Amino acid sequence: MSWIPFKIGQPKKQIVSKTVERDFEREYDKLQKLEDQTKKLHKDMKKSTEADLAMSKAAVKISADLLSNPLCEQDQAFLESMTALDTAMRRMDSFNQEKVNQIQKTVIDPLKKYSGVFPSLNMAVKRREQALQDYKRLQSKVEKYEEKEKTGPVMVKLHQAREELRPVREDFEAKNKQLLDEMPKFYHSRIDYFQPSFEALIRAQPLVAAQLPVAAEKAQRLPLL
């Protein structure tokens, strides 16, 4: 705590140095941006997976409706190709569902957890603010007493104030240090944290993509005119 320029008896307007404050602000800003992005990504991921699911369900509906239409009863060949298409679409849908489940587990849930950290982080920062305010308040009180002449009651009050100040100052310093330590670490941890998520996202797609040719091949035995 040597970086806190605080000496008893010396009136100091500056409680916390500007550099420290700036560092803190910078780190906090980065984290706030990260929070925003996490939230938006979480929302978008959810929407995109929902749309994905809806798309494959719509494809299944196309084939299912046609299959249930009496048109199929008229023509045997038509019925066969409709059945093939239906099977293909259903297969694609099930793989898609699986893919979405995987993404849910490896991407969306982690995203949610990650964004769950931020409220407590914000709370911590707020408390640091509070502590800073208390600190400033008591500090000014101490200085006020120090400036007065040193009479008995004043001394008593001064001591009292100093006693009050001490825990508060320590508390603030602890908080500040902690935050200053933890924030960059937290920011840095996102890389490792999200690495598996991104990889999972990339590898999930080919799962379905690999199935599509097989499925579509079956359906392609439809006579093309």
Q: Which of 131, 132, 142, 145 binds another protein (CB under 8 A)?
A: 131
Q: Which of 6, 23, 164, 180 binds another protein (CB under 8 A)?
A: 164
Question: Is 104 an interacting residue with respect to another protein (CB under 8 A)?
Answer: no
Q: Which of 15, 59, 79, 180 binds another protein (CB under 8 A)?
A: 59
Q: Which of 54, 129, 133, 151 binds another protein (CB under 8 A)?
A: 54
Residue 223 per-residue DSSP state: P
Question: Is 215 an interacting residue with respect to another protein (CB under 8 A)?
Answer: yes
Question: Is 1 an interacting residue with respect to another protein (CB under 8 A)?
Answer: no
How many residues in the shown chain lie near another protein by CB under 8 A?
100
Shortest distance, position 218 Cβ to another protein, whole Å: 8
Between 23 and 164, CB nearer to another protein:
164
Can you give the length of the chain in residues?
A: 225
Question: Is 191 an interacting residue with respect to another protein (CB under 8 A)?
Answer: yes
Q: Which of 6, 159, 180, 184 binds another protein (CB under 8 A)?
A: 159
Between 21 and 162, CB nearer to another protein:
162
Of 111, 103, 87, nearest in space to 53 by CA: 103
